[in-house]
A and B are shown apart, each in its own frame.
Chain A
Amino acid sequence: MFTLSRVQFFLFLFIIQTGTVFISFQSRFIMASDHNAWVIFIFAGSLHYVQLLLFEKFHKRFNPGKAVSHLYIAYWIIITISFLSYINYTLSVWIFPHTPQFITMATIVGVSLYANTRRPETIINLPIVIIPLIPIFIVFLFMSLPDLVWTRLFPLDVMEYKPLLKGLFLSQATFIGIEIFLFLRQYVKDDEQVKGKPIFIYQSIWFLFFFTTVIFVLLYFPISGLKFVTEPLLQLLKYQKVTFVERLDMFFLYIWVIWSAITVILYNFMIIHTRKIHFKNTSNRFIILLHLILVVASVYLATKDRVEIVRRAIIYIHIVFSILVPIIVILMDRREKK
């Protein structure tokens, strides 16, 4: 078994939560919520904080049984497939129009297979690869600062609640993976404090990261133009003119690929690890089978239509698994104790 320091724990969570999502969620989120996007996201951010605080408070009561663990494994497999198919689609559009899709998928999934047959500590520490990439990403992003039009923050229209709710709903994409908190919290070393300041710091980093991307996209593109933009962050960088190199978006795309690949590895780790705990099964056959399924499913799903369907569906499933199921499990646990 392993233990986590809180830095490792939060880094793990951060990569899981940002991963594949951060490149694309802005455009649909802003389209749904219009100029209100930033206000809604501040609200969503505070919800996220509340959720984290509640998770921290009740994490000891979260003891999923076999059945629930099974459900979570299924859920994570779906998430991984949705991420992979999206990565696959994006890669095939942006850089690999002619490469057979199963090859790109097999490489990414192959890396995951390789990582997941190593010791767990390897995977826990894998997010360090991202650390040097984050500042590069931020610098790239801030190059577009002079082109931001601040008047796009307005007009606010908070009278009608329907689009607000829809925006709030779509902002849930940034929450995906938050349930991992409950699963990994028990591994954090006892002498390290998580409550209070550390959670707040994590929340701030999470919030700033997503909020900055939302604000940049909102202020950079006219909303009527956002409709046609699939990956607003990539596009935003494509518009940048710098002297030392062309096409910042290409570099960013590869940063994102590494980022996403690690997210996939981490999800697979959660799947395999949870299975290990509850089923005392440590054979590699399951791991290999899982990865085969991932390749096949993600190749099958990587067309525009299917990707869209999966992306839309995933938020509903997410809400079930990050809010409903934890509540039920925690309540059940309480009853049992009484």
Chain B
Amino acid sequence: MGIEGNSVIDKKTVKQLFFDSSDLVVTDIDWPTGKGVLCYYSSLADGTEVNKQIDIIQQRASKKIDNWGKTAVSDVMPFSEADLVNSVCDGLSVIIFQQSKVMVTISAQSTIGRTPGEPATEQVIRGPHDGFIERTQQNITLIRQKLSRNDLVVRKFKMGKKTTTEITYLFIDSIADKEVIKLFESRLQDIQEETIMNSGEFEDYLEESIFSPFPQLLTTERPDRVVFNLMEGKIAIFVNNSPSAMIAPVSFFSFFQSPDDFNGRVVVGSFFRLLRVMSLIMAIYLPAFYIAVVGFHSEILPIELSKKVKLAINEIPYRPIFEAIILEIFIELIREASIRLPKPIGQTIGVVGGLIIGDAIVNAGLVSNLMVIVVALTAISSFVIPTVEMNMSIRILRFPFMLAAAMFGFFGMAIGTLILVIHLLTLTSLKQPYFSPFIPLDTSRILHVFLRVPYSKFHKQQKTFTFIGKKKGRKS
């Protein structure tokens, strides 16, 4: 079909082009240079603003100013069907002049959006309380405001031909690694998908090891975290209509840093970082440890504790591994249920599930009360990890460890740890070492991982798996 061939571009053909959608506004418009057709989606464009702009442009046209169509919010381009569709779908208003085969686009979108409030998943006590919203434009505003430098580059990439899924990525040109950006861009080109609704779908295209339990992109809704990472030479990626930014390449330990770490005292910050490391260890190992102890290594229990443990587990019908799995699944159920349910009911579920069923399950003799303590502690410590995806990953990780402990006791855990470390050492994020600074081992930076050392400089993302020439690291 196509209307370019047609000599007449009138209301009817335009309407056909948009399948006669009822929110499409198409009107004829008089213009000093001839007749035009104005069209826009009333749902996307702000009608009054459009009128205002049209007035201004009309005046410019009648005054015969050169380039009368070009203003801060409008543009002139040769008419083409594809551009027309794209522009209108983006929320622009378009005036088509059939004689001169040009069209003027006016960007006067109506904005529906939240105010940038603090993201629910990443709350801090001290520090900025703004967060990203679903509109990329505003998100970039938030970043630019925090980072006023000219080498902050914003690039856009449109996915596919037909849709309006738009990827926006930011980096600081003087800090970011050119090769990483090249790699990232080539990955973008390779994406075949036409529509991407969510940042999660996009993540799968960027990651190297999709089946690894560890996220290789850091997702955040906090502008300060993005700024922090940009300063370390990383790329921030926005998918439009998604409130979260993805950051790549990242290292394992970026997931354990909270933006308010540096807002606390050195001692306090260090304490909490250590606490997080401890919680990580607990979240992975505690149930496995318990299973190994009661299943294999009861001899390590101190005498005073041994009788109590024995009393607790003596009449439990199941093996500890099943006991643990019952409880773990129970806790995951509560968690999952309370996310989906509306807030007031969610809390009720927490109370009902946690207290009443928990107590009943112990009284019924299905699981021991010690196991309840262990599983609850594990659940709490897994929530300490400041990023959502990482704490999900860690929660999943304890299951293989529990299995290993049920089969081989501590030996299984030891071997599991080795495999885990080897996996982490191998993992990459945009081809950069994920487990930096442990690979390549940089002793001077290990301290920074576990402690909040006095703030001095940003560390650049580790580039290679091995040291080349001069030592990389504390260079900014």
The answer to A–B direct touch (Cβ < 8 A) is yes
Q: Distance in Å from the Cβ of B27 to the closest Cβ of chain A?
A: 64
Identify which of A18-26, A207-215, A242-250 touches chain B: A242-250
Which B312-363 residues sit within 8 Å CB-CB of chain A? none
- Chain B residue numbers with a CB within 8 Å of A285 are none
Residue of B299, B415, B439 near A122 (CB, 8 A) is B439
Cross-chain contact B417 with A119 (CB below 8 angstroms): no
B466 is an interface residue with CB less than 8 A from chain A:
yes
Q: Is B443 an interface residue (CB 8 A)?
A: yes
Whether A258 contacts B418 by the Cβ 8 Å rule is yes
- Bound CA–CA A277/B344 (angstroms): 66
A125-B439, A189-B469, A258-B418 are contacts. A250–B410 as well, Cβ < 8 Å? yes
- 8 CB contacts below 8 A, A to B, read A5-B440, A121-B425, A243-B302, A246-B300, A250-B297, A250-B300, A254-B410, A257-B414
Which residues does B use to contact A, with CB under 8 Å? 296-297, 299-303, 408-411, 413-415, 417-419, 421-422, 425-426, 433, 435, 438-443, 465-471
Residues of B within 8 A of A114 (CB): 419, 422
> Which residue of the partner chain, among A122, A244, A254, contacts B422 with CB atoms under 8 Å?
A122
Please report the C-alpha to C-alpha distance between residue A250 and residue B439 in the assembled complex, in whole angstroms.
Answer: 30
Which chain A residue lies CB-closest to B435? A125
- Asked if B469 and A191 make an inter-chain contact with CB atoms under 8 angstroms apart, the answer reads yes
Q: From known contacts A5-B441, A119-B465, infer whether A108 and B415 are also in contact, taking CB-CB under 8 Å.
A: yes
| Bound CA–CA A114/B442 (angstroms) | 24
Nearest CB of A to B285, in Å? 12
Q: Give chain B nearest CB distance to A132 CB in angstroms.
A: 10
Asked whether any CB of chain B lies closer than 8 Å to the CB of A111, the reply is yes
* A contacts, CB < 8 Å to B: 2-5, 7-8, 11, 91, 95-96, 99, 104, 107-108, 111, 114-115, 118-119, 121-122, 124-126, 128-129, 189, 191, 243-247, 250-251, 254, 257-258, 261-262
Nearest Cβ on chain B to A101's Cβ, whole angstroms: 13
Q: Are A247 and B469 in contact (CB under 8 A)?
A: no
Residue of chain B at shortest CB distance from A188:
B467
Q: Are A111 and B415 in contact (CB under 8 A)?
A: yes
**Cα-based distance from A115 to B433 in the complex (angstroms):** 16
When distances are taken between beta carbons in the complex, the residues of chain A under 8 Å from B470 are: 191
Q: A91-B411, A107-B408, A111-B419 are in contact. Are A3 and B300 (CB under 8 A)?
A: no
The complex places the Cα of A204 from the Cα of B435 at a distance, in Å, of 30
CA distance A138 to B401 in the complex (A): 27
- In the complex, the answer to whether A11 meets B441 with C-beta atoms within 8 Å is yes
Q: Distance (Å) between the CB of B398 and the closest chain A CB?
A: 18
Interchain CA distance A108-B408 in the complex, whole Å: 12
Query: Are B419 and A254 touching (Cβ within 8 A)?
Result: no
* Residues in B neighbouring A129, C-beta threshold 8 A: 417-418, 421
Do residues B422 and A121 form an inter-chain contact, with CB atoms below 8 A?
no
What's the Cα separation between A125 and B417 when bound, in Å? Answer: 15
Q: Which B residues are CB-close (under 8 A) to A4?
A: 466-467
Query: Which of B296, B300, B411, B442 is the one whose CB lies under 8 Å from A257?
Result: B411
**Known contacts A2-B466, A247-B299, A250-B299; is A121 also within 8 Å of B439 by CB?**
yes
Q: Which residues of B contact A121 (CB under 8 A)?
A: 425, 433, 439-440, 465-466
Is there contact, CB below 8 Å, between A126 and B426?
no
CB contact under 8 A between A115 and B441, given known A2-B465, A246-B300:
no
Please tell me if the beta carbons of A125 and B411 are within 8 angstroms of each other in the complex: no
The chain B residue with its CB closest to the CB of A118 is: B426
A251 and B302 alpha carbons, distance in the complex (Å): 14
| Beta-carbon contact of B443 and A7 below 8 Å | yes
B261 smallest CB distance to A (angstroms): 22
When A and B form their complex, which 6 residue pairs have the shortest distance between CB atoms, in order from nearest? Answer: A121-B465, A122-B425, A125-B439, A118-B426, A2-B466, A247-B300
Name the residue on B nearest A108 (C-beta).
B415
Question: Which of B411, B415, B441 makes the CB contact (< 8 A) with A96?
Answer: B411
CA A254 to CA B466, docked complex, whole Å: 30
Nearest Cβ in chain B — how far from A189, in angstroms? 6
Most buried by A among B413, B418, B439: B418
> B465 — which chain A residues lie within 8 A by C-beta?
2, 119, 121
Q: Roughly how many angstroms separate A251 CA and B421 CA in the complex, as a whole number? A: 19
Which of A108, A118, A119, A128 counts the most chain B CB atoms within 10 A?
Answer: A128
How far apart are the CA atoms of A95 and B442 in the complex, in Å? Answer: 36
Q: How far is the CB of A245 from chain B (nearest CB, A)?
A: 6
Distance in angstroms from B465 CB to nearest chain A CB is 4
Chain B residues with CB under 8 Å of A108's CB are 415
Taking the closest CB of chain A, its distance from the CB of B55, in whole angstroms, is 64
Nearest CB in chain B to that of A116: its residue = B422
Are A258 and B417 neighbours in the complex by a CB distance under 8 Å? Answer: yes
* A245 contacts across to B, CB distance below 8 A: 300-302
Q: Which residues of A contact B422 (CB under 8 A)?
A: 111, 114-115, 118, 122, 126
Q: Are B441 and A128 in contact (CB under 8 A)?
A: yes
Residue from the list A8, A124, A243, A254 in contact with B414, Cβ < 8 A: A254
User: In the bound complex, how far is the Cα of B415 from the Cα of A119, in angstroms?
Assistant: 19
B410: A residues at CB distance < 8 A: 95, 250-251, 254
Q: What A residues does B408 contact at CB under 8 A?
A: 96, 99, 104, 107
Which residues does chain B contribute within 8 Å of A111, judged by CB atoms? 415, 418-419, 422
Is there an interface contact between A8 and B440, defined as CB atoms closer than 8 Å? yes
CA distance A251 to B417 in the complex (A): 15
Given A122-B425, A246-B301, residue A128 in contact with residue B417 (CB < 8 A): no
User: Which residue of the partner chain B has the closest CB to A127?
Assistant: B441
Bound-state Cα–Cα, A235 to B426, Å: 37
CB of A111, distance to nearest CB on chain B (Å): 5
Give Cα distance in the complex from A251 to B293, angstroms.
12
Task: Kindly state the separation between the CA atoms of A192 and B447 in the bound complex, as whole angstroms.
Answer: 22
Alpha-carbon separation in the docked complex, A23 to B336 (Å): 48
Taking the closest CB of chain A, its distance from the CB of B401, in whole angstroms, is 14
> A5 near B417 (CB under 8 angstroms)?
no
Please give the distance in Å from B475's CB to the nearest CB on chain A.
Answer: 15
Pairwise interchain contact B414-A258, C-beta atoms closer than 8 A: yes
Give B464's nearest chain A residue, CB to CB: A121
A96 to B442, CA, bound (A): 38
A245 to B298, CA, bound (A): 11
CB within 8 Å for A107 and B415 given contacts A121-B466, A243-B302, A254-B410: yes
Complex Cα–Cα for A95 and B302 (A): 19
Which B residues are in CB contact (< 8 Å) with A96? 408, 411
